[in-house]
Amino acid sequence: MADIIRFKIEGLAGRSKPFEQTLNRHVNIFYGLNGCGKTSLLKILHSAMENDVSLLARVPFTAASVTIHSLSRKKAYTRTIRKTTTRELSPVSTEEASALVLEEAMTIRYARRENQGMRWKTTPADRDKSTAWFHRYLPTSRLLLGQLDTRSLITHGHSSMSEEQIDFFFAESMKRLWADYSAQLLGRINTAQQDGLASILKAVLSPKAQTVKKKAISGLDSHQAYERMKRFVTRQGSPSLLSAEEKFKGRFDADSTLRRVVSDIDGIEGQIEHASAPRRQLETMIKSLFSGGKNVSFTDQSIEVKTSSGADIGTASLSSGEKHLLMILVETLLAAGSAIIVDEPEISMHVDWQKQLIRNMRTLSSETQLIVATHSPEVIRQRCWDFMITSVSARR
């Protein structure tokens, strides 16, 4: 995971002076007129994080420097690049185009650029020169980024796609994103359970295990302790292991080892609840925002959308604004404390949603660095702690 500390870009959108900025750790909003370079800026930042120069083929700039802070290594790295001259060559092949970010592939599939000499140089030298720092990137074409059949999208282009095809790619994309998030959440839950089980075994197997007083278990009484145990053994798939509540209460009062086990399980459940909180917040958020008789629920396997009568209509049936909002919020969950870069997050959204967007994203992932380019006055006017708003003026 990583966030961006600062950048300096020369020749951005034809500027004569460098455009540079030190970024806020949490919220960064860039605004300006069409053509001032906001989208180009985000592509350069994304390219530096991804360590992929193919994304810059059509981006107007001459040189760039991006400093990235690695959260895992607790170290800053600066990546620099100078754009080489380009010339038109033969059309790219489908195989070559499939390696590009989709929206770039769609626009440059008829032109090949010579940029073999263009590379991101990393200082201090990165032990893995191909490092791509984990982050999330959402271009304006995000609803088309299903990527399950990227080759057909590149071959046919999105302009000839029907609405049904676009809906299909969105639904498949959301299925993949939710599967990724569910796997991420399951990994955190499994880690909490494994660490807790090791502590439980120590309490059971050690004859000199430290005793735990009845009221020293995070304030749990015997009923609350029973409910904690019940939830734990049910999650393990063995609810029959737990005795009746009255019998459990008697053991809980008399057995210090059991109290220690319950104390450890209480810690496990607390970690699981903390890890699962963003998912519950997402569900509450979506239910409060969506209207029109749609009921949205989030399971471990899928995002389900049903009518008030119970008919399953799927995510493809959502409106354009609902699709954009859902994707942005799920991507925010996936960012998990790293950076998320979003171009025009306000697309298709009602102004009331725009007013709440940044705050909602921060609610879901308070440690995620948001880097946003927008035209929306409502997004710009949002007031949330620790934020920075920067005008990307068209001055040359």
Out of 89-93, 339-343, 381-385, pick the least confident. 89-93
Task: Tell me the pLDDT tens digit for each residue of 265-300.
Answer: 888 888 888 999 999 999 999 999 998 788 999 998
Residue 129 has pLDDT above 50, yes or no: yes
Whether 147 shows a pLDDT value over 50: the answer reads no
pLDDT of 192 > 90? The answer is no
pLDDT of residue 146: 52
Q: Provide the 10 A C-beta neighbour count for residue 298.
A: 17
pLDDT for position 196: 77
- State how many domains the chain has: 1
Structural tokens at position 286: 């979506």
Inform me whether the pLDDT recorded for 153 exceeds 70. no
Reply yes or no: is the peptide bond before residue 124 cis, omega within 30 of 0.
yes
- Are 315 and 303 in contact, with CB atoms under 8 Å apart? yes
Q: Is residue 39 part of a domain?
A: no
Query: Which of 60-69, 127-136, 153-162, 248-257 has the weakest average pLDDT?
Result: 153-162
In a domain, 214, yes or no: yes
Domain interval for residue 214 = 186-276
Q: Distance between CA atoms of 241 and 297, rounded to whole angstroms?
A: 31
Is 239 among the domain residues? yes
Confidence of residue 113 (pLDDT cuts 50, 70, 90): very low
Domain-located, residue 40: no
| 21, 5 Cβ separation under 8 angstroms | no
- Here the tokens at position 301 are 């396997």
Helical pair 163-205 and 320-335, crossing angle rounded to 10 deg: 30
* Mean pLDDT along residues 96-100: 44
Q: Are 372 and 139 in contact (CB under 8 A)?
A: no
- Is 255 within 8 Å of 229 (Cβ atoms)? no
Q: Which of 319, 270, 269, 276 is nearest to 294 (CA)?
A: 319
Say what the pTM is.
0.81
Residue 85, domain member (yes or no):
no
Residue 246 lies in a domain: yes
Model pLDDT, residue 103: 42
